[in-house]
Structure 1
C-alpha cells in the first residue's frame, strides 16, 4: 500500500539584481535632500536678519581686504624683480613721485609709498588713512622712457609666444605708444594717487553688500505684499530664483556704473590740477589707444577679440564693461583742457 505525500510549492528566492536596492537608495537620497532644504529654509527664515548682516559684512571685508593689506597682497603680485631681487625704484622716479604728491596736495604723504612695478602703466591699491597706507606701482621704464624710448626697447616683450622686434614697423609703433612725456607720466601717477585719496576702493567694495541688502529687503517686502509666504513651496522657490537673477544683474550694472563714475571723477580731478596735467592726460590716453590698436594688430585674432578698432577694450563678459571707455575719458580731459586755455 502506497502512501501519497503532499506536494508543497517551493518559492523561488528573491531576485538580487540590485534594482530595488538602487531605487530605495535614490528615494532615500531625495528624501534626505528635501528634508535638508526644508530645514535650511526654516533656519534662514528664523535668522534672516543676522545672516544678512553677516553676509554683507563678509562680502565687504573680502572686497576691501586687498586694499587693507596692500603690502601682503598687491605688492607681491605687481612687484618688479631684477636678478632674483625686488627691483629698486630709481631716484629719478622717486623725485617725480614726490613732485606729484606735492601737486596733488596729499596731507599724509608718508602713508603713500611707491615701488617699482612691472608693466607699462602705473597701478595702485590701499587706503591712506589705514595703518598699511596705500601703494603706487611705477613702471621701471618710466625712468628713461621720455628720451629715446630706451626704457622700453631694453626689455623683452613677448606677444603670442614671440619676442617683439623693436625695429619692425609694428615694433616702432609700440615703442612710440609706450614712450610718454613727463607731463603724461605725472598725470598717470597723480590719477592713481587721487584714486586712493578719494576713498574710491571703499566705494567699490561697498557696491556688492549694498546690492545684497537692497535686493533682500525688496524681495521680502514684495513677498509680503503679494502674500507669497502662504503660497506653495514651488511658487516661493521660483520667486526666490527670479529675485536672485534680478539681484545679480542689478549688481553687475551697479558695479560697472560706479566704476565708470570713479574713473571719470579721478580723471576730471587730475586734469583740473593744471593745464600741464590736462595736456598730459590727453597724451596719456592718446598713447593708450594707440598702444591698444597696435596690440590688436600684433596679437592677431586674440587682439581683435580684446581691442576695438578705436583702441577701447571689448567687454569681457558680454554686456559688462568694468572700465569707462578710453575715448570718453580722453574727450572729458580735452574739455577740461579747453577750460584751462579759455
Structure 2
C-alpha cells in the first residue's frame, strides 16, 4: 500500500513538477519574508525591551539621535522608519520601508550611556555562566568600557541598520533559498535528460536525486553566507562614505565589539573559547559556515576608506 502511494505521488510530482516548483519557491520566499512584512506583530514582540512588566520607552536622547541619522543618511520618507527600545547591546532592524507596515529599528539601552553616566549598563543585571557580572572587576571594567560608544559610533551602528533596510537587503535574503531550489531542480532535470537517466534503472535515479539534494543544500548554505557577507560589507561601505566622522565611528564600533568578544571569551571559559576567536571574531557555529563577515575585516574595510584621499 505504501509503495503504491509513493508511486502515485512520484507520478503526480513528475506530471506537475513545474507548477509545484513555482508554488514551492513562492511559498519559501513568502515564509522568509513574513516577519519583515509585519514587523510590529512579529519582530518587535521578540526584541522589545521590557521593564517592570511594561514595554520600555525610548529616551528622547535616542529619538533625537535616530532623527539625526535619518537626515544624514538622506531618508526622505522618515515615517517609514520607526525606532523602539530593544534588549541587547546592538541595534537590530526588520521590515521593508516601501511596504505599508514600514520598518522598525531597535535601539539598545546602553546607547544612552556615556563615559560620565553609565546608566543602561551598570543598572542592568548580566548573568554569565550563572554568575552576575561584577562591574568593578578587571573583566567587568573592560566589558563596561566596550559597551560605551561615542555618538559617532552610535550613529554608525544605527545608520548601518537603516542602510541595510533601505537597500532591500531582507528581500535579497529571502530570495536566496527559492533561487537555489529552482536552480537545483532545473539543473537536475537538465542533467538527467543529458545523461539519459529517465530511461535507466530507478536505483540510479534515486542515487542521483539524493546526491543532487545534498549538493543543492550545500550550495544554498554557501550562497546564503556569501550573500550575507556581501550585504554586510556593502552596508558598512555605504555608511562609512557618508562622512569621515561616520567612518571613524565605524572603526570605534568594531574595535569595541572585538574588545567585548575577547572579554566574553575570558568570562565564559571553555564555552567562550568555542564561540570567540582570540581576535574577537566569531567562530563558525556550524563547521564550514560563516554567516557574517568577520569584524576585523569589516573594520579594516572602513580603515581603508579613511586612507583614501578625499576628492
Q: Is the 8 A contact 1:122 1:189 kept in 2?
A: yes
Equivalent residue of 1:281, what SS?
helix
The answer to whether 1:199 aligns with 2:168 is yes
Deviation at 1:233, TM superposition (A): 1.0
Q: Is the 8 A contact 1:146 1:182 kept in 2?
A: no
Q: Is the 8 A contact 2:48 2:87 kept in 1?
A: yes
Q: TM-score w.r.t. structure 2 length?
A: 0.98
* Higher-RCO chain (CA-CA 8 Å, sequence separation at least 6): 2
Report the counterpart of residue 285 of structure 1 in structure 2.
254
Structure 1: runs of 5+ lacking an equivalent: 1-31
Report the counterpart of residue 220 of structure 2 in structure 1.
251
Q: Which has the larger radius of gyration?
A: 1
Report the counterpart of residue 279 of structure 2 in structure 1.
310
Report the counterpart of residue 6 of structure 1 in structure 2.
none
Q: Is the 8 A contact 1:100 1:190 kept in 2?
A: yes
Q: Is the 8 A contact 2:58 2:84 kept in 1?
A: yes
Q: Pick the aligned partner of 1:106 from 61, 75, 87.
A: 75
Q: Pick the aligned partner of 1:49 from 18, 24, 30.
A: 18
Q: Pick the aligned partner of 1:339 from 302, 308, 311.
A: 308
The answer to whether 1:184 aligns with 2:138 is no
Task: State how far apart, in whole Å, the 2-side matches of 1:308 and 1:273 are.
Answer: 31
Task: State how far apart, in whole Å, the 2-side matches of 1:341 and 1:313 are.
Answer: 33
Q: How many residues align?
A: 311
When residues 189 and 146 of structure 1 are mapped into structure 2, their CA distance, relative to the original with a 3 A threshold, is farther
Task: State how far apart, in whole Å, the 1-side matches of 2:121 and 2:134 are.
Answer: 12
Report the counterpart of residue 7 of structure 1 in structure 2.
none
Equivalent residue of 1:150, what SS?
coil
Q: Is the 8 A contact 1:52 1:213 kept in 2?
A: yes
Q: Is the 8 A contact 2:92 2:106 kept in 1?
A: yes
Task: State how far apart, in whole Å, the 2-side matches of 1:149 and 1:309 are.
Answer: 27
Deviation at 1:143, TM superposition (A): 1.4
Report the counterpart of residue 141 of structure 2 in structure 1.
172
Deviation at 1:146, TM superposition (A): 4.6
Deviation at 1:148, TM superposition (A): 4.0
Task: State how far apart, in whole Å, the 1-side matches of 2:29 and 2:115 are.
Answer: 41
Task: State how far apart, in whole Å, the 1-side matches of 2:137 and 2:54 are.
Answer: 32
Task: State how far apart, in whole Å, the 1-side matches of 2:115 and 2:52 are.
Answer: 25
The answer to whether 1:161 aligns with 2:130 is yes
Equivalent residue of 1:151, what SS?
coil
The answer to whether 1:87 aligns with 2:56 is yes
Structure 2: runs of 5+ lacking an equivalent: none
User: What per-residue deviation string (whole Å, max 9, x for no partner) do you get for residues 163-198 of structure 1?
Assistant: 000000000000011011000000000000000000
